[in-house]
Amino acid sequence: MKKSIFVLLAGAMLTISSCSKEGAVGPQGPQGPAGTNASTAFQLTFTVNPQDWVSYGTSGSPGAGIGFQYNNQNLSFASVGQGAVLVYQNINTTAGNSYVQLPYTNYSSSGQISFKPFWVDGALYLQDTKLDWTFDSWSSALNFTVVVIPGTKDLPVGVNRSDYNSIVNYYHPKTVK
């Protein structure tokens, strides 16, 4: 019995090992259909002028600050789905444009200032608060960019969400109004 199993196994091994690829490589198949850019990401830019900020609360009391509401139909729940809404402040410097992701806190000689974005259906709220709860005031316009990546729960490895250029280079968002 053992001898029969050995003979069968040896025969199977010889049969398998004696197979080889014969003949030339066949011709290449036809070109596949053109691909499409699956990215549905888009970006919005807007400016907040000094007079656009609205104060809330009582200056010097907890919860006081200034805010701005940016309404845009592209920020609807239907447009964004389960995606990401990333907000950046565009800081113009002598070296060119620089972007800081919100929320962020800035510490300076005039105190701590915190910018926080809140997204709701069809609108983005920006909140500016100071550590001492006094009202902030801006003497010049502030520029912001919102990048929306619909349907994205997690960003791919290597894409830094806090780096505007990293997001733009990966998703190539179209600019919408």
* pLDDT tens-digit map of 54-72: 988 888 888 888 899 999 9
User: Does pLDDT of 108 surpass 80?
Assistant: no
* pLDDT tens-digit map of 13-41: 555 555 556 778 778 877 766 544 456 88
* pLDDT tens-digit map of 113-136: 788 998 888 899 998 888 777 777
d(CA 86, CA 147): 5
| Predicted pLDDT at 152 | 64
| Predicted pLDDT at 72 | 92
**Token pair in block for residue 129:** 């608060």
Supply the Cα-derived Rg of the chain in whole angstroms: 29
The structural domains of the chain, with segments of one domain joined by +, span: 42-175
User: Does pLDDT of 2 surpass 90?
Assistant: no
* pTM for this entry: 0.69
Q: Give the strands of the sheet with 84-93, arranged side by side.
A: 96-101, 84-93, 142-149, 42-48, 174-175
| Predicted pLDDT at 46 | 93
| Predicted pLDDT at 43 | 93
139 with 123: CB under 8 angstroms? Answer: no
